[in-house]
């Protein structure tokens, strides 16, 4: 069964998947194989857990579809930071410090010590990406709530390549209180990374548009809108945008601003 594409029951074709799982190293999750998970606190929502510690991630990513009337109340445990990003539709979302209507591209970061609630008061389903991670405190610094929309953020050239745009969703580059950031990278067709990255930081990435060939460790995998990628620590990674029209763009998380504890 695949609840996202409404294909249930027998199919004409042989069973096949584009998903590739290398626990601790990387994963590509084809949306066709995703299943619903029941999570306390969510009502009238289809929730799928994407990355988790069982996959080798230090964080948890979710894909959530909130039906009209759907809601989530007081999500998040002590010491966890949360990030909600609306992919389509709209939601009212809040924590203990801020509240706002989130349209597509809208997001709410809830620092540790606050919890996330949302509701879909509209008539259309709203789909969103949700993240949680244990916050790594730094004495003398704190993170704060961020409510925004990527439409209001400027593009900057990624590593001096004009056909690769980047947006930083959180103020982590200038504020050590934040131990992670969310970014969008957008490659025009034909654009690519400048080199194959190999770094300690993990990523969870949701493909927003287009198609790409993604290098993950020793594989090159075709990926497209709706796919989810997990990249573990030190996983070699890079992409070429191969779509003909839409840019190959993805939303992704990256930990930052902390030394390694021994
Ligand atoms: O910020 C990053 O590490 C990013 N360039 N990684 C990636 O796109 N796989
Ligand atoms: Mn990277």
Statement: residue 64 has pLDDT above 80: yes
**Looking at residues 111-134, what average pLDDT do you find?**
97
Cα of 239 from ligand 1 centre, angstroms: 10
Q: Quick check: 73 and 96 in contact, CB under 8 A?
A: no
Six-digit token string for 165: 């745009």
Residue 12: partners with Cβ closer than 8 Å, 6 or more residues away:
none
**Looking at residues 148-169, what average pLDDT do you find?**
98
Report which bound ligand comes closest to the CA of 250.
Answer: 1
Among 4-8, 74-78, 194-198, 239-243, which stretch is predicted with the lowest mean pLDDT? 4-8
Q: What is the tens place of the pLDDT at every residue in 2-33?
A: 788 888 889 999 999 999 999 999 999 999 99
pLDDT band at 38; cut points 50, 70, 90: very high
pLDDT band at 193; cut points 50, 70, 90: very high
Pick the CATH number of 33-152 from 2.60.120.10, 3.30.420.10, 2.160.20.10, 3.40.718.10: 2.60.120.10
| Percentage above 70 pLDDT, the chain | 100
Statement: residue 1 has pLDDT above 70: no
Cα of 131 from ligand 2 centre, angstroms: 17
CA atoms lying within 13 Å on the CB side of residue 130: 25
Left, alpha or beta for 149 (phi > 0: left; psi -120 to 50: alpha)? beta
Q: Which residue's CA lies nearest to atom 2 of ligand 1?
A: 254
Sign of the alpha-carbon torsion through 143, 148, 149, 152: negative
Ligand 1 shell residues, CB under 6 Å: 185, 197, 203, 237, 254
Could you give the CA distance from residue 170 to residue 204 in angstroms, rounded to a whole number?
16
CB neighbours (10 Å) of residue 157? 11
**Looking at residues 104-115, what average pLDDT do you find?**
98
Size (the chain), residues? 262
**Looking at residues 149-157, what average pLDDT do you find?**
98
User: What residues have their beta carbon closer than 5 A to ion ligand 2?
Assistant: 197
CATH 2.60.120.10 domain locations along the chain = 33-152, 156-255
Six-digit token string for 59: 């964080």
pLDDT of residue 25: 98
pLDDT of residue 136: 98
Degrees to nearest 5, angle at CA 225 with 150 and 147? 20
pLDDT of residue 8: 84
Written out in words, the top-level CATH class of the domain with range 156-255 is mainly beta
Residue 194: partners with Cβ closer than 8 Å, 6 or more residues away:
159, 161
Q: Quick check: 100 and 106 in contact, CB under 8 A?
A: yes
Q: What is the tens place of the pLDDT at every residue in 249-260?
A: 999 999 999 999
Nearest CA to 175 out of 133, 145, 202 is that of 145
pLDDT band at 239; cut points 50, 70, 90: very high
Six-digit token string for 61: 């990513």
| Percentage above 90 pLDDT, the chain | 96
Nearest CA to 61 out of 52, 71, 53, 73 is that of 52
Cα of 230 from ligand 1 centre, angstroms: 12
pLDDT of residue 3: 85
In sequence order, the β-bridge partners of residue 185 are 166, 250
Using the atom order of ligand 1, give the atom closest to the CA of residue 201: 3
End-to-end Cα, the chain, rounded Å: 44
**Looking at residues 115-132, what average pLDDT do you find?**
97
Choosing from 236, 250, 252, 255 the residue with most ligand 1 atoms within 8 A of its CB, the one to mutate for a pocket test is 252
Round the average pLDDT of the chain to a whole number and report it.
97
């Amino acid at each position: 069964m695949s609840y996202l594409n409404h294909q249930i029951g027998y199919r004409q074709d042989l069973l096949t998947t584009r998903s590739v799982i290398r626990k601790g190293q990387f994963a590509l999750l084809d949306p066709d194989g995703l299943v619903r998970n029941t999570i306390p606190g969510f009502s009238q929502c289809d929730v799928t857990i994407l990355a988790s510690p069982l996959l080798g991630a230090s964080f948890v990513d979710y894909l959530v579809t909130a039906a009209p009337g759907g809601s989530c109340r007081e999500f998040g445990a002590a010491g966890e930071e949360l990030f909600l990003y609306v992919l389509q539709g709209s939601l009212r979302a809040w924590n203990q410090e801020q509240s706002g209507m989130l349209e597509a591209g809208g997001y709410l970061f809830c620092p540790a010590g606050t919890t996330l609630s949302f509701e879909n008061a509209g008539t259309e389903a709203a789909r969103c990406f949700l993240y949680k991670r244990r916050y790594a405190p730094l004495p003398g610094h704190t993170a704060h709530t961020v409510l925004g929309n990527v439409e209001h953020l400027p593009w900057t050239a990624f590593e001096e390549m004009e056909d690769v745009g980047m947006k930083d969703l959180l103020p982590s580059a200038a504020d050590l209180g934040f131990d992670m950031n969310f970014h969008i990278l957008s490659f025009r067709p034909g654009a690519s990374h400048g080199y194959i990255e190999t770094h300690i930081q993990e990523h969870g990435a949701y493909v927003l548009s287009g198609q790409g060939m993604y290098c993950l460790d020793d594989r090159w995998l075709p990926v497209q809108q709706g796919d989810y990628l997990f990249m573990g620590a030190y996983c070699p990674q890079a992409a070429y945008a191969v779509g003909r029209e839409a840019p190959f763009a993805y939303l992704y998380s990256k930990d930052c601003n902390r030394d390694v504890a021994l």
